[in-house]
Chain A
């Protein structure tokens, strides 16, 4: 075998190896994409849940008549805002949500009325349409106020979860109860199966979570709440 042949052979082998490599990894990559985007509850039985029975969902936060005061730390891109977040249900599906600084000055004061956020007061810096829309999405998710077309109940025995899925167009919101603790411990908002917002609710006391973490996955926004009263 002359040297040219050897080089040609080597080149062919290398090409085959490279194509094998690409083929293998593209499959792996595809599997990864499919699995990350696929609905984890797809194979579980889903039953329609009556929209009128929304109050029966074991999530007391939206129905508490007491004013809830949380110490809040909000990280928004490079900004840290800290203060007290006050949530007060003033009527059915109507809430006042205010954030004050430690010194007491109001940063914002919103009314969430049937899913629509009205600005009563907001410091100029945050009073931008995009930011207000984001707060509307977040508080609607936290207080289960989103408009929904249908609700489904899913039982995930393997994971000890009872799940209420709120469907609205391409968006699905999941309220996930740990069937052992009987508390809603996670909320997840997904658009076409890609997770946009996740909420963790922990250390329940009298049916109210003492700790709440709300995180956006497509923008740098994280809210940490600690119950004071």
Chain B
């Protein structure tokens, strides 16, 4: 049983890594599609979200089977139960990359406009957070998980900068208000991606320690 369980854990980790790679790619592509006004790429991201959803269901079912058949305890129980939580965050990140792409398609059809450089900085930072939080989860690296949580403050700061920039844009040129709101929504999606990466990092810490947000829950 132990050998079979260990093989199943490896398979679970591989599938989780594959899902995480899709999600990371979606964020990078969403940022590129926005910058390059690439409608085709944006459409591909929206389509790729179905693959992310399908992997979510696959991993969820795998975890439930492990719970059913192996009755894991201690670190194994924490790990499997936290994967079930992490999945939700990963799936939401995929949704948000698709949502950003939907707006990108609309923006691409408008005349060329000046992008806020901070949007791409947020995209870059959140993509790194997602890569790191999944690495921290799979490699059981608490320090890396804590670094991800720390990085979220920078994402929040950037969101505030963008918000101020957009308000100024609306005040100085009311004609661009629609465009400004679209940018604000995109920034908000990246800010939420940062929150989801933080959640994943918190579950990575829980999987090792049983402590979630400084509270022992098991």
Determine if chain A interacts with chain B.
no
